[in-house]
A = this chain, B = another copy of it.
Amino acid sequence: MEKCTSKKKGVFNASVLANEQIGECFYRLSLAIEGQAAEAFNMTKPGQFAEFELSNASLPSEEKIPNELADKALRQIILRRPFSFSDIEITGNKGKLEVLYCVLGPATLRMKTLSPGDKISIIGPLGNGFSIEREKTLAILVAGGMGVPPLLHLAKELSKSKTKTIAFVGAKSGSQLPCSEIKNVQTLISTDDGSMGFKGFVTAMLKEWLVKEKPDVSKAIIYTCGPEIMMAGVAKIAGEFGIGCQVSLERVMACGTGLCQGCAVKCIDKKTKEAGYKLCCKDGPVFWADEVVF
């Protein structure tokens, strides 16, 4: 995969422009950066990420914490949290970063209380993003639930090229999606409960489409992000159809910067055929599906 790590990663301050709920599950955080930070994030590829320091933000007040997160909210966090971006816009020495996030635990509960003007520390850009393969004419995006955000960013980048893009987006139900379609992209939605679009898994919808539409697989590429089990399914389908596939994996990360070796991903060395660990934060989070041992 083409190396797309920026050399200029660093520890930067970002200030909150907006933070609002969109849909049932997602929140959108917009951050302003400037100077060196803007420079560093200028060439960020979709799928790259940053590590957010959220431990100093306040918790929502008791009644605003969902019951199932009440005990988790008590944990005093010290580690940063990784987030990819749904959009990045840099103009000159100023920039805007956009994160779509779900509230799952102590860090994201704190993220929720950030308000305009607040400052947070981020480290980035980190990792290797999706590599846009110029020779492919059809990009198939497959997103599941929390995996949507980086694919929005990717869709935007793809829209600048001539690649035709189609997006398959799955969720438990329609209300859990951050958007009902991806801008400028033909979007097919599937929901587990059938409340929107195709009823069933996004992988089933993808397979059905491939069988029916018979795209030229040599010219197609799949980009996917979502729950690991879904991506494993997508990878399998990609293998069956002989389509190249990039997966954006998630691991619990202590550092995000290659220091701790916590974020191991079992991979097969394509040359030696031996299995071994790569690091999600440094070698990924985007991998070629056929090197990953799911």
* Interface footprint category on A: 10 to 19
Q: Which residue of B lies closest to A61 (CB)?
A: B119
A141 nearest CB across to chain B (Å): 36
B residues within 8 A CB of A13? 62
Enumerate 16 A-B pairs (CB-CB under 8 Å) in ascending A order: A13-B62, A55-B76, A56-B58, A56-B59, A57-B58, A58-B58, A58-B110, A58-B113, A58-B118, A61-B118, A61-B119, A62-B119, A62-B121, A63-B119, A76-B76, A76-B78
Residues in chain A within 8 A of chain B (CB atoms): 13, 55-59, 61-63, 76, 78, 110, 113, 118-119, 121
Compute how far the CA of A57 lies from the CA of B58 in the bound complex, rounded to whole angstroms: 4
B residues within 8 A CB of A76? 55, 76, 78
B residues within 8 A CB of A56? 58-59
Q: Which residue of B lies closest to A73 (CB)?
A: B56
Shortest Cβ-Cβ A-B pairs, 5 listed: A58-B58, A56-B59, A61-B119, A76-B76, A57-B58
A38 nearest CB across to chain B (Å): 19
Q: Which residue of B lies closest to A117 (CB)?
A: B61
Compute how far the CA of A183 lies from the CA of B119 in the bound complex, rounded to whole angstroms: 40
Q: Which residue of B lies closest to A120 (CB)?
A: B61
Q: Which residue of B lies closest to A109 (CB)?
A: B56
